[in-house]
Chain A
Amino acid sequence: MNISRRQMLILMPAAAIAWKAVLAGTPEQSPNYTMSEHWWGMLIDIPKCIGCGNCVRACATENDVPDGYFRTWVERYHVSDEDMTNPEVISPDGGKEGFPVAAEDDKKYFFVPKMCNHCADSPCTQVCPVGATFISPDGVVLIDQKYCLGCAYCVQACPYGCRYINPQKETAEKCTLCYHRITQGLTTACCEACPTGARQLVDLKDPKDPIHEFLKTHSVEVLKPQMATGAKAFYNGLDGSVR
């Protein structure tokens, strides 16, 4: 078969594209885990949270979170009768060591655990200039540590303040929903450490998951629903003053 120079020039790029498709492929991270069978989220039951900080400490241990940075944290809200829309919010060291109990008045107090909402339409993944952050096929917002430049666009884009730049690695980090655990059939470190069951890992694609019944029968809200982020951290008993 004779191939002219012209044909060769057309064939070479085509062959390159075909070869690329052949080489594409990723090693399976866990043998019994199929990404397409899951769609992860989190249920946060505010009336059960006692503000002990177990989740914050467990997360820091499990994921080597540097001191002063948080992938999850607990806020204490103090809402007065006169000014319902301007609550006083504190989170000393992310609530890691609990909250001061002195000088509490007779107004409304409650705890709100915060974490990445693993949004289905996340603003943080849309702004990444290099494709270093993404929503995995099982609905977890993750960061490619090798690709991240540390530009911090995503840190600014997250409406929930859930990302930070690791001071040593100088790359963005965030809650991975303990992806290394959930792909092995374990629950997240924060859920494992929560003594009251205020946090529950949920799989929206699992028809047997009690979350479906829970969502049907409870007043459940997501944070900042007006931003249409498709947040998957479901808050039960969320007070209207929570931002």
Chain B
Amino acid sequence: MSKFKDAGHLFRFAGLFVLLFVVFLVVRHFVVPKSFGKYGHYRADAIGEVAAHPAKFAGHETCEACHSDVADKKGKGKHAHVNCEACHGALVKVLPAPPPPTPNLYERMVALVIKPMPVDPPVLRHAEDPASVVPELPDTTVLCARCHTASAAKPKGFPQVVPADHSNGLACKTCHDPHSPAMDAGGTK
């Protein structure tokens, strides 16, 4: 009499394990995103999604493409290294975050329960449509004071004033040209 005459149930059990393993692999194939693990323990597609965020600051090169006269004047003055948008603000079209491409099953199910947040209409800025969108000129009383108000924490060589004593509330651009502010550099108005 063979020792293994009743071993059939062992093989059935082993078969069940193999079957479950296959089921696990199939489920895993559909559940784990395709790009997961390409570079490490994360979804490589997420890198592209972060990179897809719309830029709002155009960059000074964009501004200088049209405003070469201002760039030339600024380049010779004390504000040569202050970029345009440091004072004028972000000048590219401000877009709401783009909707995610083709939601998967889980996301579609979630969307049935939780309504997606409404998407705001895009706000056009100057660099996107220079002809029709004219940026507001900054108020120099506030703008200049942000950098040039005297403070013990600022570097000693940095030009600083107490605005109330220096101009008595007068807008800075009354006397200084913001693009070339030094009085002795031909920057006076």
A interface list, Cβ under 8 A from B: 9, 12-13, 16-17, 19-20, 23-30, 35, 47-54, 58, 61-64, 76-77, 97-99, 101, 104-106, 109-111, 131-137, 142-147, 168, 176, 178-181, 183-184, 186-187, 189, 192-197
* Distance in Å: Cβ of B124 to nearest Cβ of chain A: 15
Q: Are B50 and A142 in contact (CB under 8 A)?
A: yes
Residues of B within 8 A of A184 (CB): 55
Q: Are A17 and B25 in contact (CB under 8 A)?
A: yes
| A180 in contact with B50 given A17-B25, A62-B56, A186-B59 (CB within 8 Å) | yes
| A58 in contact with B25 given A181-B55, A192-B83 (CB within 8 Å) | no
Q: Are B151 and A51 in contact (CB under 8 A)?
A: yes
Residue of A nearest to B43 (CB): A144
Residue of A nearest to B104 (CB): A146
Residue of B nearest to A57 (CB): B89
Q: Are B47 and A195 in contact (CB under 8 A)?
A: no
CA distance A25 to B35 in the complex (A): 6
Residue of A nearest to B42 (CB): A134
* Distance in Å: Cβ of B79 to nearest Cβ of chain A: 8
CA distance A53 to B146 in the complex (A): 8
**Interface code B34-61, partner A: CB below 8 Å = 1, 0 otherwise?**
1111111111111111111111110110
Return 12 A-B CB contacts under 8 Å, by A number.
Answer: A16-B26, A20-B34, A26-B48, A50-B147, A54-B146, A61-B56, A77-B153, A97-B146, A101-B151, A104-B153, A109-B152, A186-B57
CA distance A179 to B49 in the complex (A): 10
* Distance in Å: Cβ of B30 to nearest Cβ of chain A: 10
From A47, A62, A168, contact of B155 by CB (8 A) = A47
Q: Are B56 and A145 in contact (CB under 8 A)?
A: no
Residue of A nearest to B160 (CB): A50
Residue of B nearest to A27 (CB): B48
Q: Are B117 and A142 in contact (CB under 8 A)?
A: no
Q: Are B154 and A13 in contact (CB under 8 A)?
A: no
* Distance in Å: Cβ of A93 to nearest Cβ of chain B: 13
* Distance in Å: Cβ of B103 to nearest Cβ of chain A: 10
CA distance A106 to B117 in the complex (A): 51
Nearest first, the 3 closest Cβ-Cβ pairs linking A and B are A144-B46, A109-B153, A29-B51
Residues of B within 8 A of A144 (CB): 42-43, 46, 49
Q: Are A24 and B81 in contact (CB under 8 A)?
A: no
Q: B150 within 8 Å of A by Cβ? A: yes
Residues of A within 8 A of B47 (CB): 26, 29, 35, 136, 142, 179
* Distance in Å: Cβ of B92 to nearest Cβ of chain A: 10
Residues of A within 8 A of B155 (CB): 47-50
CA distance A168 to B96 in the complex (A): 14
Q: B158 within 8 Å of A by Cβ? A: yes
Q: Are A192 and B57 in contact (CB under 8 A)?
A: yes
Query: Given known contacts A48-B155, A195-B79, what 18 new A-B pairs fall within 8 Å (CB)?
Result: A12-B25, A16-B29, A24-B34, A24-B37, A25-B38, A26-B35, A26-B45, A28-B48, A29-B51, A64-B97, A131-B42, A136-B47, A144-B42, A168-B117, A186-B55, A192-B86, A195-B83, A195-B86
Most chain B CB atoms below 10 A, which of A101, A133, A176: A101
Q: Are B153 and A196 in contact (CB under 8 A)?
A: no
Q: Are A197 and B21 in contact (CB under 8 A)?
A: no
Residue of B nearest to A20 (CB): B29
Q: B85 within 8 Å of A by Cβ? A: yes
